[in-house]
Every structure is written in C-alpha cells, then in structure tokens.
Amino acid sequence: MKKLIDFLKFTAGVLAAANAMAPVPVIIGGNIVAKHSEPYILSLQRSGSHFCGGSLGTFVSKGVTAAHCYYSSGVTAVAGAHNIKQSESTTQKIQVDTFRRHPNYNSRTLINDIAVLLLRSSFVIDDYVVPISLPAHQNNEWMPNGADVRVCGWGNTSSSSSNYPSELHCVNVDIVSNSICNDRSHYNGEILKGMFCAGILDVGGKDACQGDSGGPVTYNGQLVGATSWGYGCAQAKYPGVYTDVAMFKNWIDSQ
C-alpha cells in the first residue's frame, strides 16, 4: 500500500512537473553553506553512506529525525560534517543505540513522522558540533503564514534527476498555512495535525528533496521542523511537508 501511495505521489509529481514546463533551479534552489554554519545538523549513515538528516537537539546524546528514516540497527549519527564524501577531522561519529519512532507514526499517512535517536555516547560540544534548542511545546499550528524558515541537508539538488551533493546545502522557504496547503489546489486534505508546509507557494523552485528527510528546519534559531515528504520536489503547487517539532516537544523530551 505504501509503495502504491509512493508511486502515485511520484506520478502526480512527474505529471505536475510536466504541466508546469517551468525550469526548476538546482536542497533545491539553495546554496552550499559556509562550513559548519549549521553545527547541530546530523548526517545519518549506514556503512558510511548518508541516507537521512537529523538534528542534535539540546541533549548531546539525543538526536531528532523523521520516523520514516527508521532502521532497527546499523545507524551512525555523524556530527561536525560539511563534505560527507571526504574524511573530515571535524566530524564525530556515534552509533545510534535506539531509534525510537513515535508510537503513533503511520507510514501510509506519514502522521507523527518524528523519531528520537538515543546515542551510544555523547557528542563533545566544540566549534563544529553544537546542539540547537527546541521551541516551546505547542498544541496547534503556530508559525505564521509567510514566516521565513531555513531547511538544510545533503539531499538531491535536482527536481528532475538525481544529483546528490557532497557539501551541505540550505535554502530559505516560507511557511504556508495548513488551510492553504490543504486546499483543493494543493494537498487536498493530506496535511494532518503535526505537519506544516513550507515552500514558495505557487512558484516552486525551492524545497527539500530525497535525502533531506529527517533534517532540520530552523526558525528564530530554533529547531522547528524535520523534513518529511512532498509530491516530487520544488513544485509550484506542492510545498515541502515537515513534522512540526514544537508539537512533539513533550514527547521528544520524555524519551
């Protein structure tokens, strides 16, 4: 079922892209950032290969990522990285002891797409590895429509093919209120409680993409989101969809 949904989502994305016939700039539409400008970001790796992002939130032995990034074992959290294809002296690598998905995560709807990584030991805070604070707990959508947030990762930089970068990319996008994102001309009801949208509405060109999942969205210096899903990448009608970290703050803290 999940595969079918993914396929349908993918197909919808391809069709929408073909319809738009607009060039989409090569995160998508963002830039390589200054080294270690996001010292809280984690690259989650298996056998040395990046597969998802994550964040080091407040506790140095605990990461935050998306539930759909789950593997039962063999995951290493890498902090202090910039170029993940090089061996960098700034990196610290710690194995994930427990990859704890939210108990109510649903892989079909992607509701509650959040997970906590309990690490085998603690990262040492230095110039390259610094945790980021989480916002106060919220019970509902709380960021204003149009707010400027930043999303970062080592994910695909192309919306039409595969181009996985070595260096960290970030892009700034705008919060799109759930009511707009959920209307019939956008996600038509698929945006559920605990999700938020961000992009350049009805324009596209800036977005997270495959490989950015689980990675950070920041706003006012706090970790407000984890990259979750979208129809294709950077499409005008389909902003990126993120897990609202503030709405899971109490659950994250209690892990």
Cβ nearer to ligand ARG, comparing 60 with 228: 228
Please tell me which residue in 159, 213, 228, 244 is annotated as part of the active site. Answer: 213
Helix (H, G, I), strand (E, B) or coil at 152: strand
Instruction: Give how many residues touch ligand ARG by CB under 6 A.
Output: 13
x-or-dash pattern for ligand ARG, window 135-174, by CB under 6 A? --------------------x-------------------
Told to judge if 133 belongs to the known catalytic residues of this protein, a careful annotator would answer no
Q: Which stretch binds ligand ARG (CB under 6 A): 19-27, 32-40, 118-126, 204-212?
A: 204-212
Please tell me which residue in 68, 102, 169, 186 is annotated as part of the active site. Answer: 68
Told to judge if 72 belongs to the known catalytic residues of this protein, a careful annotator would answer no
d(CA 253, CA 248): 9
The pair phi, psi for residue 15, each rounded to 5°, is: -65, -45
| 207 contacts ligand ARG (rule: CB under 6 A) | yes
| 240 contacts ligand ARG (rule: CB under 6 A) | yes
Contacts of 10 (CB under 8 A, 6+ apart): 232
Helix (H, G, I), strand (E, B) or coil at 65: strand
| 211 contacts ligand ARG (rule: CB under 6 A) | yes
| 243 contacts ligand ARG (rule: CB under 6 A) | no
Which of 60, 154, 230, 252 is in the footprint of ligand ARG by CB under 6 A? Answer: 230
Determine the residue type at 144: P
- Which of 193, 202, 172 lies closest to 244 in space, CA to CA? 193
Enter the tokens of residue 161.
């093919």
d(CA 176, CA 180): 7
| 210 contacts ligand ARG (rule: CB under 6 A) | yes
d(CA 54, CA 225): 10
As measured in angstroms, the least distance from the Cβ of 207 to ligand ARG is 5
Told to judge if 212 belongs to the known catalytic residues of this protein, a careful annotator would answer no
| 212 contacts ligand ARG (rule: CB under 6 A) | yes
The pair phi, psi for residue 44, each rounded to 5°, is: -90, 130
As measured in angstroms, the least distance from the Cβ of 23 to ligand ARG is 17
Structure letter (DSSP) for residue 250: H
As measured in angstroms, the least distance from the Cβ of 9 to ligand ARG is 10
Please tell me which residue in 43, 55, 113, 174 is annotated as part of the active site. Answer: 113
- Which of 202, 198, 200, 193 lies closest to 230 in space, CA to CA? 198
| 208 contacts ligand ARG (rule: CB under 6 A) | yes
| 216 contacts ligand ARG (rule: CB under 6 A) | no
- Is there a contact between 155 and 209 (Cβ–Cβ < 8 Å)? yes
d(CA 181, CA 228): 15
Enzyme catalytic residues = 68, 113, 213
Query: Which parts of this chain interact with ligand ARG (CB under 6 A)?
Result: 155, 207-213, 227, 229-230, 233, 240
